Structure 1
Amino acid sequence: MGRKTTRYPVKTANSLWHVYKTIPFWKVMKNFIFIQLGRYIPILPLKAWLYRTFLRMDIGDQTAFALMVMLDIMYPERIRVGRNCVIGYNTTILVHEYLITEYRLGDVVIGNNVMIGANSTILPGVTIGDDAIVSAGTLVHKDVPAGAFVGGNPMQIISLNKNE
């Protein structure tokens, strides 16, 4: 239950130095504008519409992105969120990692009826199963089973049945 990422090695300088060889500058600028708008919009249906329309994200009905959620600025279209989810305040969802000798990309899939607590970080290539609960301040560095309650840094499974 690790992370599913694709690795792209670089030969010279660190991978972030080559960022605009991996993604167009204007795409990043457009994404930046709409992500920043969405971070402050308090009207949840409008925020979801903005993300679906301009960032091409797959978001289920009645999913709520709280204030200040930071989506991946490079590839937000690789984030899928199911229906009736709550993405807590100041959560960060990443689908890219720029490292010294490589960069990695991996889709993030969040199931239905998932609760992500405030100030959590979800790393690339992670799947969070249906009905899971992620405690506030959690670093989600691996897959979360359906119905699990997880928390901490590093993330640990606290309970495999959310009703325990």
Structure 2
Amino acid sequence: MARTAPRADGMTWTDPACPVARTLDLVGDRWSLLIVRDAMDGARAFTDFQQRTGIARNILTDRLRRLIERGILERQNAPTGRRQNYVLTEAGRDLFTVIVAARQWGERHAFAPTETHSLLVDGSGLPLPELRPTDAQRRPVDVDTTSVLHER
């Protein structure tokens, strides 16, 4: 299946050749990622996002607009037709692994051992296993066993 790139009309890239930099340019600020997180958790209406994040209305309006322009969210009419809902596009849904990785990193490094936090579980109620990258033979890899090839 062909994937479509998020819209990037008029984007000025921080580092045009780097996929990490481009991702951060598209969705890297705190509020945008929290909006994506909440959309994955069922938020749809403007008020849902505002209540869950505590974000100011003007900032929320701006971030929703940007996420739509960049192909991460799309606006749909609510079933009642009285308001707009915001739903993840395929590109937005594809950020799930990024959100899970950030969540798991936070569980390991942002909480004291005795602090409670929310837990992401699968359909049977079990916590997701820790995400770990693997090579083509499914062997674990890390920063010491990988490198970036720069095209010339």
TM-score by length of 2: 0.26
TM-score by length of 1: 0.25
Structure showing the higher strand proportion among its residues: 1
Which structure has more relative contact order (CA 8 Å, sep 6+)? It is 1
